[in-house]
Amino acid sequence: MVNNNRFKIFAGSKGAALAQRICDELGCQLGNLHLDRFSDGEFCTYFEESVRGQNVYLVQPTCPSSDNLMELLLMIDAAKRASASKVIAVIPYFGWARQDRKDKPRVSIGAKLVANMLQTAGADRVITVDLHADQIQGFFDIPVDHIYGSNVLAPYIAALNLKKLIVASPDVGGSKRASGFAKKLHIMTDREVPMVICYKNRPDFNKVSEIRVLGDVYGKDVVLFDDIADTAGTLCKAAEVMKEGGAKSVRAVVTHGVLSGPACERINDSPIEELVCTDSIPFDATRCPKIHIESLAIPIAQTIRAIQNHTSVSETNIR
């Protein structure tokens, strides 16, 4: 149940399917929002119903292209100008999150810039899923509710009842994330779930030259766990190394299936038996028969319900 606080949910172009699932969970109607495009590519958004005095939830991933971010910014601005009480940006996939620091001279910090833009547009709160780096929450001066994708991904893997389950991090930087996933599976299966780590040498963006496995995978059912699969080069190379090391099976689990460029071809041709991801980014599953999608609708709906009822979000969002 949601209390009598007034709220409405709207969706951008890329958030429509997930927003409808969220509304189904909450038992409410998806609001009417219109997008007009001009011949030169410029566009504008407007609400086809009143939002005055209401909490307005805007569902839109900021996945490529940048039009999706601009669409969200225009939606926020329109809601503020229409006298919404609060504007909450529901961003299942927070783009530019990989640009969270200056890792070399003369580069931008894209994640901070996007945070500033959302706040300048008028967002009062952000709901997002599996930020590439947890500290990005600190880029905001407004509340951020950070949902963990493992809450919908772990139950699926646990239900497979893999006999010799082991979790692998595809790189050293993701070891903490993978460790949390292994602990969750340990609780769900009541069995110890070991973890191994891959060491990768990346000479440039989206390129991986070498991967080595730190740990034993012989005879094991390996689950590679990461937050993002972009070109899938790292995952596919890691899967090959796992199979060469004697792994019985290899699956990949990621929260955000960006799957750009040759990703689908690589996955189809790789030893990966299955890639499990969420619906944080809309994806045509016919492009890759190995992909299985779990929905984030329930945890996002639970978060909206908690906000509306002024109850704890963390109680239903445990890593």
Using an 8 Å Cβ cutoff, are 144 and 313 in contact? no
Q: Which residues pair with 250 in a beta bridge?
A: 222
Candidate list 200, 220, 237, 248, residue with the active-site label = 200
Choose among 112, 110, 78: nearest CA to 96: 110
200 is catalytic: yes
**Spatial separation of the C-alpha atoms in residues 79 and 268, rounded to whole Å:** 43
253-291 in b/e form (b: 16+ CB < 10 A) is: bbbbbbbeeebbebbeebbbebbbbbbbbbbeeeebebb
- Centroid of chain to Cα 157: 18
Q: Which helix (H) or strand (E) holds 294?
A: strand 291-294
Choose among 59, 239, 20, 253: nearest CA to 149: 253
Active-site amino acid positions: 200
